[in-house]
Amino acid sequence: MTVLEAATAAPAPAGPVTAGPVTAAPAAAAPAAAGVPPDRQLLMYRAMVVGRAFNRQATAFSRQGRLAVYPSSRGQEACQVGSALAVRPTDWLFPTYRESVALLTRGIDPVQVLTLFRGDQHCGYDPVTEHTAPQCTPLATQCLHAAGLADAARMAGDPIVALAYIGDGATSEGDFHEALNYAAVRRAPVVFLVQNNQYAISVPLAKQTAARTLADKAAGYGMPGVRIDGNDVLQVYRAVHDAAERARAGHGPTLIEAVTYRIDAHTNADDDTRYRPAGEADVWAAQDPVDRLERDLLAAGVLDRAAADGIAAAADAFAGELSARFSAPPTGDPMQMFRHVYHHLPPHLREQSERLAAELAADGQGD
């Protein structure tokens, strides 16, 4: 029995998910590391340590005013690394604004990942080359794009799978419903991965859905719903891998709810002390996914202290190199914002365009 089959056969737990231990993982009854080779586990560990360093550095950039905004995924690295490694390089990712670590794990250049948050362009990488859609800010619209691409691939006989990332708040959006319904009816090869980090910005889960669990919503669309411990990278890897292979075999989409916690605020512009009880984040930090995997690998003899220190040093070096590369100013054309949206600019935008062109010309930057 696969993780997917075991999870869908088990009843979902009732009641709110608390800081722990996380009660949401029916697949946890099986050895989490089963079927994942040690070198693969080490790869996950390295990617999570580097992802943590990236979150730390990007948050620093936002505080220095070098990024317009940054939504940290500290505490959610297991969801992002485990899922990105569970699919093939030719499969497509449909990320939200919080999936920067998943994009890094896919191999996208970190400066290109941050381009959106600096405001240089809507996307810093080539989506077709990377098989990764631009990071999506509107809630749940990427779910429709994932379902459409996956269905088109199915009809063309192309064996690719679309992995759509969603936050818990986005499951209350109409686009989420339409995408899951469409994908289920069309048996489109999509994996919908919900990272339930407990808050839709400032709204706790219990105040934005009456569903017993988010995985329960799958039943309404006629697809399997799986609830896993999102702070266990091996559970995430197995659940997404099994769901992707099930989709690739023609059995349609799966909804996975990964229960986790956003340690940092929603973004650097958010004050989480206004809506989160004091000490709550500290309780969840005790289940930190990076520390947890490190402890497991040390106990299993897959990792030793010297190797862990070496990986930490490499992550620090990665962050230092990123800081140096990010000090270069953006080279984009400011007039780009007026192109490719309207064939004929409305009068107010035409006026703004002309004023900006005049200012650039006065500064010697015009055409």
Q: Which residues contact 321 (CB under 8 A, 6 or more apart)?
A: none
Q: 260 and 197 in contact (C-beta within 8 Å)?
A: yes
| CA atoms in the 13 A half-sphere facing the CB of 352 | 11
- Residue ranges of alpha helices (H) inside the chain are 3-9, 38-63, 77-86, 100-106, 110-118, 127-130, 141-156, 174-186, 233-246, 280-285, 289-300, 305-326, 347-362
Helix (H, G, I), strand (E, B) or coil at 71: coil
Q: Annotated catalytic sites, by residue? A: 262, 266, 275
Give backbone dihedrals phi and psi of 258, rounded to 5 degrees, phi first. Answer: -100, 115
**311: which DSSP letter?**
H
Phi/psi at 323 (5° precision): -60, -40
- Cβ atoms of 320 and 52 closer than 8 Å: no
List CB contacts of 214: < 8 A, sequence separation 6 or more: 168, 171, 194, 196, 227, 255, 257
Q: Are strands 162-167 and 203-204 parallel, antiparallel or unpaired?
A: unpaired
- Contact criterion met (CB below 8 Å) for 144 and 120: no
- The shares of helix, strand and coil residues in the chain, as percent rounded to the nearest 5, are 55, 10, 40
Q: What angle do CA 311, 233, 22 make, to 5 degrees?
A: 125
Two structure tokens written together for 241: 């891998």
